[in-house]
Structure 1
Amino acid sequence: MVRMTRRRFTAVGAGAVTALGLFPGAGRAADAGTPTEFRGVWAATVANIDWPSRPGLGRDRQREELLALLDSAVKRRLNVVLLQIRPTADAFWPSRYEPWSEFLTGTQGKDPGWDPLDFAVREAHRRSLQLHGWFNPYRIANHTDPGRLVPSHPARKHPGWAVPYGGKLYYNPGLPDVRRFVQDAMLDAVFRYDLDGVHFDDYFYPYPVAGQEFDDAAAYRRYGGKFSDRGAWRRDNIDRLVRETGERIKRRKKHVRFGVSPFAVWRNKATDSRGSDTRAGVQTYDDLYADTRKWVREGWIDYIVPQVYWHIGNAAADYATLVPWWARTVRGTRVGLYIGEALYRQGDPSQPAPWQDPAELSRHLTLCRRHREVGGNVYFSARQVRDDPIGAMARVVGDHYPRRARPPR
């Protein structure tokens, strides 16, 4: 099966905020009759997918574009924006650890002349939106040449930390110094800004590339002696990242929620009887070394957003199979379950017939509401929420979001 993940890839006036009667305080207070539901949108900055529309725009234009995305979330009665602020070992704030992102100015390390994260937090909260900082832990660059990185980049100062693989450059998750560094780099934003959440996406060890091997043999020889095989060692490396990150967040800011949006198939049932009745070509446990089920069962995260990016009836990975599997997985835990939705597929002529029907996503929410464990949905991505080319998002709002909702805390 072809891998299905979100990475393949007119502003609404502020009056809309007033018109919807939104409550103050970034969703932290509301009248007693307001429902609680996670209604999120991913705003991607890598390769300028959603924002800014291209690198090198002036400060005022960048601000206008960001406000347009926030206002479109308000218009659609969403309440959480997951803003990608560390897409490739870089930063959308004046980081103490990593350079300014090239997706802001076109030149890595160049100061854009303003603080996008401070602005985003303040403007999101003004609109009663939660803002979760979305981080990619290990991706350094969408190329393999360290010489293209700014000279002060940590990957150039510590060349042994970096591994080229599949046309990209990654930090090696098997090195304890790397694990501590990426935590420090990400938590710099968490501790300095009023973020409501910390969000990891689906990249841990990279997606497998045929005929290539992720070269961590030296790190395995040095640190993997007590493990039965390299796969078990790799999973432990990612387990440590997730567990330690969650612990560090709670020590400093108990109210900040920690979530992950993994590829939706933990393991196929044919591989593991506890897995989902799917036939996916990628399994997070075996291929990305991310034991997402364990993180839920151990309570290391506050919420999980599996990317269930298939239509109802898909032969290899049926939406109607995966949602109840995830509902059973979180049952009896305190981990929130919100389903990731492939809004970007709606109306795409390369997609099968169900995605040409504007009602497909609305049917997804109808199915989700049959499972009490499902506490909401998240849409990829912000540009599609704003532009809504075939009206699928408007259909969701009309069918399922008749009024505002409080995000879970």
Structure 2
Amino acid sequence: MRRMGRRGFVAGAAGAAAALGLGGATRAYEGPGAGSDGGPYGGPDAAGKMRRSPQRTTEFRGMWLATVGNRDWPSRTDLTADQQRAELIGHLDTAVARRLNTVVFQVRPTADALWPSPYEPWAQCLTGVQGRDPGWDPLGTAVAEAHARGLELHAWCNPYRVANHTDPGRLSAAHPARRHPDWVVPYGGKLYYNPGLPEVRSFVQDAMLDAVQRYDLDGFHWDDYFYPYPVAGQSFADDEAYGWYGGDYPDKASWRRANTDLLVGETAQRIKRLKPDVAFGISPFGVWRNADTDPFGSNTQGGVQTYDDLYADTRKWVQERWIDYIVPQLYWSIGFAGADYAELVAWWDGVAQGTGVGLYIGEALYKAGDPAQAAPWQDARELSWHLSLAGRYPSVGGHCFFAASEVATDRIGAMATVVADHYPTMVRTPR
């Protein structure tokens, strides 16, 4: 794990916390097993005192700040530059108030950029028109303002997603996907760059790493989008590329996984050459493979498996130490039948042990209080129980919450419960 946590915490964090009603006191843990709730993860000890995880001196406490489709920021495309800047700073202040220490900021949502990139157009989410200059530098501002508040800023990019539609004519006239239509594959109602083309792999690395070169980033981050999630009845049209480049592989699936491995490995090497202190992290879908598919898999059933469906061998990347940290998206409740949060935390702990790769758990704050979700997500304590459970595993070094809007609005108080139970003071990120 490369050195992280270079930023100090500014005075005023306590005031920001007070403004959200968090105060400095902590509550006794009351997870499943406490009192009359029943269950294995908490409850009183023999002396009648509540058990809790020990307070860490360093811990990853992150939130994703999503920009695709204006999910978290900016709230609208018709805001002035000053209004956009104020909203962005508001999210950073909320992170401080919640005693978080890292913001994972989506700066390349759909093959466009939230900085003046020489490779790709300005992002559509800023002005509503892809390629239109917003009149300021969102990434540069985010880095400076985050650091002024003692926060780390990790630049979050999506390597291959080009558009959330299939009409190249809607892209900026100068968009690389329009200049190189042979790079693009329509699939599932979206446009993607073809991961099987070496020239694509080289270009997307150049485009993304321009941000690493230009800015004082603490981290560089991808989420779970490599080859696209499978869509029933559709096939990803890469037969021609496979014919050109797949001759050394036993099947197309192996070739696709090798393409993803090359993207990860090459990017890791380039970051190390550019700026060794920038941490490279990936946040994959939480299931590598099920145990009934692979004896090394997790005790999970059905659903997506990243190895087989997204052609992403996430376990290998940790074992080979290609990345500095991994944030598996464990967006299920404790006890969920198909993918139990408790099972998956234990499985990922086993994967990360002895590798030096940081393991931070991705948490589905967006589900808390959503009436469309199952009963566990209607309990404000569910995520706090997650942190108590995960705290028992030595490789788990923190958590990241999806996403910034919910960190701020906190529909049923789930985030406030996490802060009160687990974040009594600000801490630095792991080094």
Normalised TM-score (structure 2): 0.88
| Letter of the 2:430 counterpart | P
| Letter of the 1:402 counterpart | P
Q: Does 2:210 match 1:188?
A: yes
Q: Which residue of 2 aligns with 1:163?
A: 185
Q: 1:95 deviation in Å?
A: 0.3
Q: Which residue of 1 aligns with 2:265?
A: 243
Q: Which residue of 2 aligns with 1:17?
A: 13
Match of residue 403, structure 2, among 355, 374, 381:
381
SS in 1 for 2:429: coil
| Letter of the 1:391 counterpart | G
Aligned positions of 1:219-230 closer than 5 A = 219-230=241-252
Contact kept, 8 Å, 1:34 with 1:404, in 2: the verdict is no
Q: Does 2:230 match 1:234?
A: no
Contact kept, 8 Å, 1:208 with 1:287, in 2: the verdict is yes
What is the Cα-based RMSD across aligned positions, in Å? 1.3
Distance in 2 (CA, whole Å) between partners of 1:16 and 1:350 is 37
Q: Which residue of 1 aligns with 2:278?
A: 256
Any idea what the Cα deviations from partners look like across 1:87-141, whole Å, max 9, x if unmatched?
0000000001000001000000000000111100000000000000000000000
Match of residue 208, structure 1, among 190, 215, 230:
230
Contact kept, 8 Å, 2:352 with 2:395, in 1: the verdict is yes
Any idea what the Cα deviations from partners look like across 1:175-228, whole Å, max 9, x if unmatched?
000000000000001100011000001000000000000000000000000100
Q: Does 2:138 match 1:104?
A: no
Q: 1:34 deviation in Å?
A: 7.9
Distance in 1 (CA, whole Å) between partners of 2:247 and 2:342 is 42
Q: 1:20 deviation in Å?
A: 7.0
Distance in 2 (CA, whole Å) between partners of 1:252 and 1:178 is 20
| Letter of the 1:127 counterpart | R
Q: Which residue of 2 aligns with 1:83?
A: 105
Match of residue 91, structure 2, among 69, 76, 79:
69
Match of residue 331, structure 2, among 309, 320, 328:
309
Aligned positions of 1:353-392 closer than 5 A = 353-392=375-414
Q: Does 2:267 match 1:271?
A: no
Answer with 1 or 2: which has the greater Rg. 2
| Letter of the 2:151 counterpart | L
Distance in 1 (CA, whole Å) between partners of 2:422 and 2:266 is 37
Q: 1:55 deviation in Å?
A: 1.2
Match of residue 174, structure 2, among 144, 147, 152:
152
Q: 1:18 deviation in Å?
A: 6.1
SS in 2 for 1:60: helix
| Letter of the 2:95 counterpart | A
SS in 1 for 2:107: strand
| Letter of the 2:134 counterpart | P
Distance in 2 (CA, whole Å) between partners of 1:354 and 1:271 is 28
Q: 1:332 deviation in Å?
A: 1.1
Match of residue 334, structure 1, among 343, 352, 356:
356
SS in 1 for 2:192: strand
| Letter of the 1:189 counterpart | A
Distance in 2 (CA, whole Å) between partners of 1:134 and 1:396 is 24
Contact kept, 8 Å, 2:279 with 2:325, in 1: the verdict is yes
Contact kept, 8 Å, 1:16 with 1:74, in 2: the verdict is no
Distance in 2 (CA, whole Å) between partners of 1:373 and 1:349 is 33
SS in 1 for 2:401: strand
Distance in 1 (CA, whole Å) between partners of 2:278 and 2:76 is 31
Distance in 1 (CA, whole Å) between partners of 2:418 and 2:279 is 26
Contact kept, 8 Å, 2:91 with 2:404, in 1: the verdict is yes
Q: Which residue of 2 aligns with 1:284?
A: 306
Structure 2: any 5+ residue segments left out of the alignment? Answer: 1-9, 18-54
| Letter of the 2:240 counterpart | A
Match of residue 50, structure 1, among 59, 72, 95:
72
Distance in 1 (CA, whole Å) between partners of 2:312 and 2:319 is 13
Distance in 1 (CA, whole Å) between partners of 2:305 and 2:343 is 15
Contact kept, 8 Å, 1:179 with 1:241, in 2: the verdict is yes
SS in 1 for 2:153: strand
Distance in 2 (CA, whole Å) between partners of 1:34 and 1:232 is 41
Contact kept, 8 Å, 2:14 with 2:97, in 1: the verdict is no
Once superposed, which parts of structure 1, at least 4 consecutive aligned residues long, lie more than 3 Å away? 18-21
Q: Which residue of 2 aligns with 1:136?
A: 158
In the comparison of the two structures, how many residue pairs are matched? 385
SS in 2 for 1:42: strand
Q: Does 2:290 match 1:294?
A: no
Any idea what the Cα deviations from partners look like across 1:32-73, whole Å, max 9, x if unmatched?
x98100000000000001000011210111011111100010
Contact kept, 8 Å, 1:134 with 1:199, in 2: the verdict is yes
